[in-house]
Amino acid sequence: MANVVIVGAQWGDEGKGKIVDRLTEFADVVVRFQGGNNAGHTLVVDGEKTVLHLIPAGILHPGKSCVIGNGVVLDPGVIVMEIDRLKQKGFLADDSQLVVSLDAHVIMPWHKAIDVAREQALGAGKLGTTGRGIGPTYEDKVARRGIRVRDLLDGDRLLRKVRERLPEALEEIRRLGAPADLQAEPIAEEYARHGNRLKRHAAESSLALHRAIRAGKSLLFEGAQGTMLDVDHGTYPFVTSSNTVAGNAATGSGVGPTEIDQVVGVSKAYCTRVGGGPYPTELRDETGERLRRVGNEFGATTGRPRRTGWFDAVALRYAARVNGLDGLAITKLDVLTGFPQPKVAVAYRFDGRTVEELPGDLEDLERCEPVYESLPGWSEPLAGARSWEDLPVAARSYVKRLEALSGVKVMAVSVGADRGETILLENPFAR
């Protein structure tokens, strides 16, 4: 029995959902602790594709429960839609399989309107948010004027809270030059209806998790986004509005940090980023285009083309530090097949100096040039590989080099989108 946290070690989209899906076999409960439907997990099980934005990927495993923790911001319309779709496909037959924290903050229509209007007003300087209202919802949480899942369950209280908050939100939307035609009553009615649907899932999730731990169950914490998008530790202000690092698994779920046994970081075998902000190893050339095409690097949430580039070991070492990584999962190794000499950034050149640690200042990071090491490529497709020995020697050396550069043990390697295409070298639940 162990409790394991999985986090993104890069800029999000590392394939965490796939690793979580693979490891769920060893867990009883899968927990989301931050972010919202800005995340997107594409899962392929027996050739069938399912995209989930809020509900943990673990829901595709019968008999496992999934918890949306207090640290998540929840769009109730989206979760209700995901529930319906899952049920249509024959999943989530038992409602008790999904628990939603009563304390999770709710994304309201004005949050989405403010998110989109702000980005429009910023023009070229925009952050490139997903437009899902994530930032404005976290702002209201911290400003102590948020609406929580528990408020959706009481129609009168909900209407009162909507009436309290809406005028100021509308003022902001108007100031940003966007149409401000939201009305309190229809919003409260719609959200109370969602509340009615969610009632059977809503619970004191910290208590439910505590009881699960006491009963000897194993928890798997599923991070969203990635370390470099963390509001404290990422490339601020080009970040999301939550803490994406492993430490937040405790705060965002109400489970004490002493209950966490292992932290695993997920990283692609190369690097991608969506939205604005510095990204030292970005390739704006034919190679970058090829990575995008072969790796199908288009957002699961917004469909935006992702920025692509070589692997960044400086960023990975940083992720190892701020998350306390015990292990690494390397995904999409198959995408590098056919690249004659894949490169890895081992350091940066900055103001005539070579630096091995990620500069804290964004403007410094923007001026960094990667120092590359070229590694031998391989031409064999990896899709059929099911064990370490099945991988070509050059692919194995590539993975071993990432391990050496980060100082973190590689526990899993993924070579394709299907559930069967993850080679588990070491099970973090059995450590």
Catalytic residues: 13, 41
Kindly tell me which of 123 and 216 has the beta carbon lying closer to ligand IMP: 123
Binding track over 35-74 against ligand IMP, x by CB under 6 A: ---xxx----------------------------------
Kindly tell me which of 132 and 343 has the beta carbon lying closer to ligand IMP: 132
Kindly tell me which of 116 and 399 has the beta carbon lying closer to ligand IMP: 116
**Residue 225 found at the interface with ligand IMP (CB under 6 A):** yes
Cβ neighbours around 345 below 10 Å, total:
23
> Packing angle between helix 155-175 and helix 109-122, nearest 10 degrees?
10
Dihedral over Cα of 337, 342, 347, 350: its sign: negative
Can you tell me which of 10, 240, 253, 422 binds ligand IMP, judged by CB under 6 A? 240
Distance CA 288, CA 271 (A): 10
How many residues bind ligand IMP (CB under 6 A)? The answer is 20
**Residue 324 found at the interface with ligand IMP (CB under 6 A):** no
Q: Which among 285, 264, 380, 277 has a CA at the least distance from the CA of 333?
A: 380
Length of the chain: 431
The DSSP code sequence of 104-132 is: PEEPPHHHHHHHHHHHHHHGGG-----SS
Copy the structure tokens of residue 365.
Answer: 């990071």
Kindly tell me which of 279 and 398 has the beta carbon lying closer to ligand IMP: 279
Query: How is residue 153 annotated by DSSP?
Result: T
Can you tell me which of 241, 337, 406, 422 binds ligand IMP, judged by CB under 6 A? 241
**Residue 129 found at the interface with ligand IMP (CB under 6 A):** yes
Smallest distance, ligand IMP to C-beta of residue 396, A: 29
Binding track over 9-28 against ligand IMP, x by CB under 6 A: ---xx---------------
Smallest distance, ligand IMP to C-beta of residue 127, A: 5
Can you tell me which of 15, 135, 309, 359 binds ligand IMP, judged by CB under 6 A? 135
Can you tell me which of 7, 9, 116, 224 binds ligand IMP, judged by CB under 6 A? 224
* Residue number of the CB atom closest to ligand IMP: 275
Can you tell me which of 252, 265, 275, 342 binds ligand IMP, judged by CB under 6 A? 275
**Residue 229 found at the interface with ligand IMP (CB under 6 A):** yes
**Residue 132 found at the interface with ligand IMP (CB under 6 A):** yes
Can you tell me which of 29, 274, 385, 411 binds ligand IMP, judged by CB under 6 A? 274
Q: What residue ranges in 33-185 does DSSP mark as E strands?
A: 41-45, 48-52, 65-68, 73-74, 98-101, 105-106
With 0-12 CB in 10 A as exposed, 13-18 as middle and 19+ as buried, what is 115? buried
CA 333, distance to chain mean position in Å, is 19
Distance CA 98, CA 31 (A): 10
Copy the structure tokens of residue 216.
Answer: 């000897």
The DSSP bridge pattern shows strands 271-273 and 307-309 to be antiparallel
**Residue 109 found at the interface with ligand IMP (CB under 6 A):** no
Cβ neighbours around 265 below 10 Å, total:
32
Omega of the bond leading into 167 within 30 degrees of 0 (cis): no
User: Interface with ligand IMP by CB under 6 A: which residues?
Assistant: 12-13, 38-40, 127-130, 132, 134-135, 224-225, 229, 238, 240-241, 274-275
